[in-house]
Homo-oligomer: A and B are copies of this chain.
């Protein structure tokens, strides 16, 4: 082929390849999320990447509509790539609820696409990792959502994190008392920016967009100063919403959630009542959740969600209330990398066998098969290159142990078991079933767990 006919290999702007050292931690994180979701009885679902455009359009606001990847398919249908998993979930629930029944306890881990401005460091293709309980108004589901978030963070390896919980009805109650109920959306949208832009600018925005007075803005922002134990916080909120039935109901729900979470054994300090969190999205109506890493709060919430009254009203007359949350996979991976929690390996196979003696391929194949039969992942180098080159490859890939056998070793029926991390080695008898080698490998792996 002529050089000039070649196509430059490249990815589209905002898209990226995932080489092994990026994919391995991603897959581990996804596996952990799946394991925790399953441990609470959530089941996996998936939906098509492509949907009828009318299903997607107008659901995420003007900005999202602009970012939609949309086109005509071969049959002339207007179609689009999903931009989140909530809209497909709503469509899915509306379509299948009669057959599946309630409650639906689902998780959905899948790719979504948005033609975002990449200058903000965002990708146009990313993964979402949602779980939802649909078809129940019971607070038990809200409690469980907090428990899942908690167990998920623990299972990933975090011990210092805070789940912040609020209830939209508390905010609604306050706004009713302040005569600002009709401005709820704009007020909450401003309040949602509190941690990013600070109280002064939030107040300015409330005055500008929600026509709040300075005093009203001040009253709303007082919420963010309420802190203390759950009981202390609840006591401070009660008078603020006392005249509003909605507000009082919100306080009751909030108390039920934190009491339930505590009953399930979650340490008190990991759950904070924060009556200033609003979650910008319009469809939350009850409990809302945000989750912050105590050592890295500035990256924002890594797992957020809440309760909604009616998931699928655009697609069905059947009212589908529910509660759920979404793990911010990419944000979390970035945080884990910053905290040194991500092991940089290009392979998950612990053991490496160099193809040392060109005449002994069958022996290497047998040795590899024996190690593998013991449940240990093992890679055999495919070519009889120089040993040094092969060990350099093993080092680059991140194998932990090399099993080296050349002519000398085969003559004496031994094998060098080399710990690549410590560069120490031992001679081990090579039996047909490789029992001694397997024992030596297991000992090293136990001494130096990942």
Interfacial residues, chain A to chain B (CB-CB below 8 A): 1, 3, 5-13, 15-20, 23-24, 27, 34, 38-41, 43-52, 54-55, 67, 69-75, 77, 79, 81, 91-92, 94-96, 100-101, 103, 105-106, 111, 113, 115, 125, 133, 136, 138, 140-141, 143-144, 147, 151, 259-260, 263-265, 312-317, 346-349, 352, 355, 361-362, 365-366, 368-369, 372, 377-383, 393, 396-397, 399
List the B side residues contacting A95 at CB < 8 Å: 9-11, 17
Max chain B Cβ within 10 angstroms of own Cβ: one of A45, A92, A316, A378: A45
Max chain B Cβ within 10 angstroms of own Cβ: one of A5, A74, A75, A378: A74
Closest Cβ neighbor of A58 among chain B residues: B7
Given known contacts A20-B44, A40-B372, A41-B380, what 15 new A-B pairs fall within 8 Å (CB)? A1-B313, A9-B315, A11-B48, A17-B45, A23-B43, A23-B46, A24-B44, A43-B348, A74-B115, A100-B346, A105-B379, A140-B355, A141-B382, A144-B380, A260-B365
Q: Are A50 and B113 in contact (CB under 8 A)?
A: yes
List the B side residues contacting A365 at CB < 8 Å: 140, 143, 147, 260, 263-264
A289 to B69, CA, bound (A): 39
Q: Are A101 and B317 in contact (CB under 8 A)?
A: no
List the B side residues contacting A368 at CB < 8 Å: 264
With contacts A17-B92, A40-B349 taken as known, whether A138 is within 8 angstroms of B45 at the C-beta atoms is no
Q: Are B100 and A19 in contact (CB under 8 A)?
A: yes
List the B side residues contacting A381 at CB < 8 Å: 103
Which 7 pairs from chain A and chain B are nearest by CB? A41-B379, A71-B71, A20-B43, A263-B362, A15-B48, A9-B95, A41-B349
With contacts A1-B313, A396-B101 taken as known, whether A378 is within 8 angstroms of B140 at the C-beta atoms is no
A177 to B325, CA, bound (A): 67
Of B44, B49, B316, which contacts A9 at CB under 8 A? B316
* Distance in Å: Cβ of A286 to nearest Cβ of chain B: 14
* Distance in Å: Cβ of A428 to nearest Cβ of chain B: 21
Of B39, B45, B136, B355, which contacts A19 at CB under 8 A? B45
With contacts A6-B315, A16-B48, A113-B49 taken as known, whether A136 is within 8 angstroms of B382 at the C-beta atoms is yes
Closest Cβ neighbor of A264 among chain B residues: B365
List the B side residues contacting A316 at CB < 8 Å: 6, 9
List the B side residues contacting A92 at CB < 8 Å: 9, 17
A294 to B171, CA, bound (A): 65
With contacts A43-B348, A75-B13 taken as known, whether A361 is within 8 angstroms of B260 at the C-beta atoms is yes
Closest Cβ neighbor of A351 among chain B residues: B41
With contacts A1-B314, A143-B365 taken as known, whether A379 is within 8 angstroms of B20 at the C-beta atoms is no
Q: Are A18 and B47 in contact (CB under 8 A)?
A: yes
List the B side residues contacting A18 at CB < 8 Å: 44-47
List the B side residues contacting A399 at CB < 8 Å: 41
